[in-house]
Structures are given as C-alpha cells and as structure tokens.
Chains A and B, each alone.
Chain A
Amino acid sequence: MQTLASLKKSSDAYSFGFLDAFAKRELRRKILKAVAIPGYQVPYASREMPIARGWGTGGLQATLALAGPSSKVKVIDQGSDDSVNAANLRRFIARMTGCDATRDTLECTILQSRHRCPEERLKRGQVLVLQVPDPETLRSVEPNMTRARLMHADQDYGLMWLKLYEQLVRFGRFVQGASYPSLVNGRYVMSPSPIPRWDVPTLHQAQHLTILSAGREKRIYAVPPFTRVEPLEFTDEFFQVEEQSDWTCDRTGQRYKFMNEIPETDGTARHEISDTGYADKLIQKKEGEAVTLGETYYDDNGTFYHDGFLKS
C-alpha cells in the first residue's frame, strides 16, 4: 500500500543531471540562442552548483543540460584528465547522470575543459564545453558590464584594437597570452576562454560545436560548427601561437604539440605534452597496444590544418 512516507523520495535522491527541470529547460533555450547568435553573450540564471563558483560551474551546467543517458563525457583541466579539479567534475557528472566517462577525445560526445582544447580534431556531433572565468573580453578596457554590453551592441571595438596597437608600440609584438580576443562570424569579439593561443585557431571553421559558459558571471555563448573565429590581428602584424618548436615531449618524444614546461632542480626544464589523453595514447601505441590516434590540428611539422589561416 502506498503511504505518504513511501511516496516521498529518499532524502539523498537528485534529479537526472542534478538541476531541476526548469533550470535545464532555461539552459537549453539559452544555448540555442547562443548558437543562433555566434559569439554573443547570452545572460542566463546560472544556478548555484555544489562546487564553488569559479571552479567550472558554468561548464558543468552546460554539460548537465546537454548530457543524456548515452553521453560519454571527458573532462580535462589544463589538458589533463587527472587534474584534481577535472577528476572532481567528472566524478560529479557521473554521479548525477550515470554517464560513462572517457579519456579518449575521439570517443567522447561531450568534452568539458578548462583552459585547453584537445590536440586531436573534434568531429561533427561532438560538443566542446569550455569553462569561462571571464566572458567579457572588453573587461580590460571597460570594467563596467553595462557599458561593455553597449559597446558590443555598437560593435565598438576600437579600444581592443588600440590595446593591440599599444602592445606593438611598446613591445614590438602582441603580448596577450591566453584568452586571445577573437572575432566570431565577423560580428562579435569574444574571449575564447583562457585557452592558449595555440588552441584559438582550432575553433575556426571547426566541425564541432563549442559552448562557452561562465557560471559566476552568468553568460553563455557559442561557436557553432563551421563558423569563422578570427584572432584579432593587423593586416601587416599577425597573431602568433606560442613558440615551442624546439621543445620535445619528455614522455613521448613528440614535437609540435602544446607543452607544459616543468622546471628541474638543475635550472633546466623538461617538457610534456599538455593533452594527457593524447600523450597516453601515443605511449600505448608505442608499447604495441591497439589504440586509435585521431588526426590532429597541427601536423608533425607544426603546420595548422587550415592552410594559410595562420600567417607568419
């Protein structure tokens, strides 16, 4: 017989994907809007998640709103599956959805990442979810969000260009590190999240969908498949990715992938491929295991796969 007590859900039960249905509906609608207006920051409610703000709550909400029972999720932080924060997020997603987790870029349907894109090319149907600490690329020239929104509306990006001009004057080159401002679909300048410059071109005319979600700042934006993403550059002074051409990965012997620099006690440094999932597969392959390596954005000579997109 049913009683009130038997109808009550157990006190540690949660909805699929943690968020209640209203929150997920709002997120999906806002994601659709973001896809419809590439690069435009869509404000959204951004519920509090059971991890701290600034630790990937935006990416987490997007992932949970997109994940279904058959999703396969990969989570990386600084390129690594085993970074403690990536491990924590993966554990939470698995706990709240029952989704399978994977470390293989080729296998995942959703790749949630902080600060990196994978080396292997993402394909049609895959979604890259980037965690965004600060969605407002104009913040450095206009800290007031209300005014910055007006500047986007007016396509008033003069100050962003002035910032680049000043860098050339003072340093002889662009000195922006990560979060390189990029023009999406010829309309909105966006922050690609603090991914290194090496990763920014991988968003350009990509096969996959990229969702960028800032939980603390409550903004979500997107780069749909096959959309132009152009790092800001002058016609005679070009955007440049990180110069690591003389670095060789200590684990795999590979070159021309984005590397971490690890200081050694003797004053030198060694280097390791930052995308640990990819590096692990390279090692497995070397040891004779049957693994599939995907095509990469940069080939073994460091050439980017869209011919001529990176000028020098």
Chain B
Amino acid sequence: MTVFLNPNAWQPAPPRLIETAPILEVKGIQKRYGDIQAVANVDMSVYPGEIMGIVGESGSGKSTLLRMLHLEEPADAGSYKLNIDGWQDRELLQLDRFEQRKLRVSHIGIVYQHPHLGLRMHNTSSGNVAERLLVAGERTYSTLRQAAVSSLAASEFPLQRMDDLPRHLSGGMQQRVQLAKAIAMEPALLLLDEPTSGLDVSVQARVLDTLKSLQQQQKISTVLVSHDLGVIRTLADRVMVMRGGHVIEAGLTDQILEDPQEAYTQQLVHAKL
C-alpha cells in the first residue's frame, strides 16, 4: 500500500489480502457549478464488503461526489461502473432516467444527513421501508410487512413504533428508518452522507454502533461521507481526504489518521485529536 502525495498520480490500490475485483469503480469523475470546480477528476474504487470513508470540510466536494454516485446529480465527465450482475459493462453515467431508477431501487441504498431528503414524512416508517419493495414490484402485503420488520429490526429501530410517521420520531430514530429503507432491498452499495451529523453525541454513538454491527453482519460495500474524523475512524476501512474537489490523500484509515502526510490532513487530524 503506497500513498502518493501527488493527487493526479494517485491510483486506487486494493487493500492487502483482498484479491477480488472492486465492486465500485470510478475514473476521472468531474463536476462544475459555474466557476466552481466541485469535483475534479476523482478516481476511486470500493471493494466488496469494505467501508470507504470520504472526509473533508464543507465545500470539499465530498457530498457532490456522493450524489453523483447515487446518480441524482449528473457528472460532467468520467466513468462510473458497478460490478453487479447485469450491470457490469454498463457506463452508469450514461443511463437514462428509467434505468437510473431501476439501478437505484434494487442496488443502491442511501442515508442522508437530513431525514426529509430520504424519507416521506407523511407516510409511516414501515411504509417508507416497504416503498422500496413496492417499486421493485413486490405485491404481497404480508411479505411487505415482514420485510419492513426485518429491515427496521436490523437497523435497531423500536418496532412498536414502526407505523408511526417519521415526523413524530426523534432524529436518531429517523436515521434508523432511513437506514432500514436503504438496506431493505439488500443493496450492493450503501451510501451514507453524514449519517450522524445532525444527532446528539449520545444518540450519535448508538447509531454508529448500529452501523458497525450491521456492517459486520451484512458486509454491504459502503461509501461513507463525513467531516467527522471520529465517525470515519469508527467505521471506515479506507479513507480518502478531499479538498477543493481533489483527493489529496488516501489510504488505510489507521494509516492516514496516525500518520498523515499532507499538511491539510495533519491539521484535520490534530484539530480533532
């Protein structure tokens, strides 16, 4: 494992002992808003079952990158592939609206920092989870109920409240509903966008525990965006540090956090620790 300091020269290298092909592979992805280069020529890959953390301050491009991975924000250039049955050879940035939805529903789950982005606040919590299966074509009510129960249970949501509206729930519970919705279809890829940033410290810790144990049980390949190094340290196997749309440093989480090479990363780490 080598970390190159020149961002343009940096190539994703698989962690040791993992010899399988990456499940997610992105090359040269770019996004511009007017004069601002939000994401500049980023390469990344995620291997089956690993959590890839992306850390950076606000405006670094990490959330834009995540939205592009979720195909809700079109990229200006680049390549994006997922190694999933039926989609291996498809260039995902070229998909039409219909195919984007199909791919998202079956294979990509997302948890947003703001629950209102991920949840229908006027539908029940269980309905929010069941919607994923309904969109995918499930038409048996008892199956929908069971799926909602098991996904909510896996995200450690108190089941006696499964038919409450999310707007009657606390922030932590709303995030658990989002998580249950995201994993309801057993996705190949889970995207977490600051999943605990809006929560109280104690609630945050419990949601992180849930994410950790879920990851241990289900081994879903995950991209985790956070400005919080504590969250990254708890969950991520590898980490990319972003600044001004560029990846400035990447590697194993322990390595980056213990021995940061870039001045900016050093500042981040020291400010936190």
Do A and B share a direct contact in the complex (Cβ within 8 angstroms)? yes
Using a CB–CB cutoff of 8 Å, the interface residues on chain A facing chain B are 150, 154, 156, 158-159, 161-162, 165-166, 168-170, 234-237
Report the nearest B residue to A237, measured CB to CB.
B141
20 A-B Cβ contacts within 8 A? A154-B98, A154-B101, A156-B135, A158-B134, A161-B134, A162-B131, A162-B134, A165-B127, A165-B134, A165-B144, A166-B123, A166-B124, A169-B124, A169-B163, A170-B124, A235-B140, A235-B141, A236-B140, A236-B142, A237-B141
Tell me whether B126 is interfacial, beta carbon within 8 Å.
yes
Tell me whether B38 is interfacial, beta carbon within 8 Å.
no
* Number of chain B residues whose Cβ lies closer than 8 Å to a Cβ of chain A: 18
- The CA of A249 and the CA of B139, in the complex, are separated in Å by 38
Contacts of B126 in A (CB 8 A): 169
B223-248 vs A, CB cutoff 8 Å, 1 = contact: the mask equals 00000000000000000000000000
Are B141 and A166 in contact, with the CB atoms below 8 A? no
Contacts of B134 in A (CB 8 A): 158, 161-162, 165
- If over half of A's interface residues share one DSSP class (helix, strand or loop), that class is named, otherwise mixed; here it is helix
- The CA of A234 and the CA of B133, in the complex, are separated in Å by 13
Tell me whether B97 is interfacial, beta carbon within 8 Å.
yes
Segment 123-178 of B: residues with Cβ below 8 Å from A: 123-124, 126-127, 130-131, 134-135, 139-142, 144, 163
- Give the residue of A150, A158, A162, A168 whose beta carbon is less than 8 angstroms from that of B141: A168
- The CA of A140 and the CA of B144, in the complex, are separated in Å by 22
Are B101 and A156 in contact, with the CB atoms below 8 A? yes
Known contacts being A166-B123, A169-B127, A170-B163, is A150 close to B140, with CB within 8 Å?
no
* Chain A-chain B contacts (Cβ-Cβ < 8 Å), number: 45
- If over half of B's interface residues share one DSSP class (helix, strand or loop), that class is named, otherwise mixed; here it is helix
Contacts of A168 in B (CB 8 A): 141
Contacts of B135 in A (CB 8 A): 156, 158
B104 to chain A, nearest CB (A): 12
Are A234 and B139 in contact, with the CB atoms below 8 A? yes
- The CA of A82 and the CA of B125, in the complex, are separated in Å by 48
Are B124 and A236 in contact, with the CB atoms below 8 A? no
Report the nearest B residue to A153, measured CB to CB.
B98
Between B98, B101, B123, B134, the greatest number of chain A beta carbons within 10 A of the residue's beta carbon is seen for B134
- Give the residue of A150, A165, A235, A237 whose beta carbon is less than 8 angstroms from that of B97: A150
B157 to chain A, nearest CB (A): 15
Are A236 and B141 in contact, with the CB atoms below 8 A? yes
Contacts of A154 in B (CB 8 A): 97-98, 101
Contacts of B120 in A (CB 8 A): 162
Contacts of A150 in B (CB 8 A): 97
B94-137 vs A, CB cutoff 8 Å, 1 = contact: the mask equals 00011001000000000000000000100110110011001100
Contacts of B139 in A (CB 8 A): 161, 234-235
Are A162 and B140 in contact, with the CB atoms below 8 A? no
Segment 236-273 of B: residues with Cβ below 8 Å from A: none
Contacts of B141 in A (CB 8 A): 165, 168, 234-237
- The CA of A98 and the CA of B126, in the complex, are separated in Å by 59
Report the nearest A residue to B98, measured CB to CB.
A154
- Give the residue of A162, A236, A237 whose beta carbon is less than 8 angstroms from that of B130: A162
What are the nearest 10 A-B pairs in CB distance? Answer: A158-B135, A161-B134, A234-B141, A237-B141, A235-B140, A162-B131, A158-B134, A166-B127, A154-B98, A169-B163
- The CA of A168 and the CA of B134, in the complex, are separated in Å by 14
B51 to chain A, nearest CB (A): 29
Contacts of B163 in A (CB 8 A): 169-170
Contacts of A236 in B (CB 8 A): 140-142
Contacts of B101 in A (CB 8 A): 154, 156
Contacts of A158 in B (CB 8 A): 131, 134-135
- The CA of A236 and the CA of B135, in the complex, are separated in Å by 18
- The CA of A235 and the CA of B141, in the complex, are separated in Å by 7
Given contacts A161-B134, A235-B141, 9 further A-B contacts (CB under 8 A): A161-B139, A162-B127, A165-B130, A165-B134, A166-B124, A234-B139, A234-B141, A234-B144, A236-B142
Report the nearest B residue to A156, measured CB to CB.
B101
Contacts of A170 in B (CB 8 A): 124, 163
- The CA of A221 and the CA of B140, in the complex, are separated in Å by 29
- The CA of A158 and the CA of B185, in the complex, are separated in Å by 14
- The CA of A150 and the CA of B98, in the complex, are separated in Å by 10
Contacts of A169 in B (CB 8 A): 124, 126-127, 163
Report the nearest B residue to A232, measured CB to CB.
B139
B132 to chain A, nearest CB (A): 8
B126 to chain A, nearest CB (A): 7
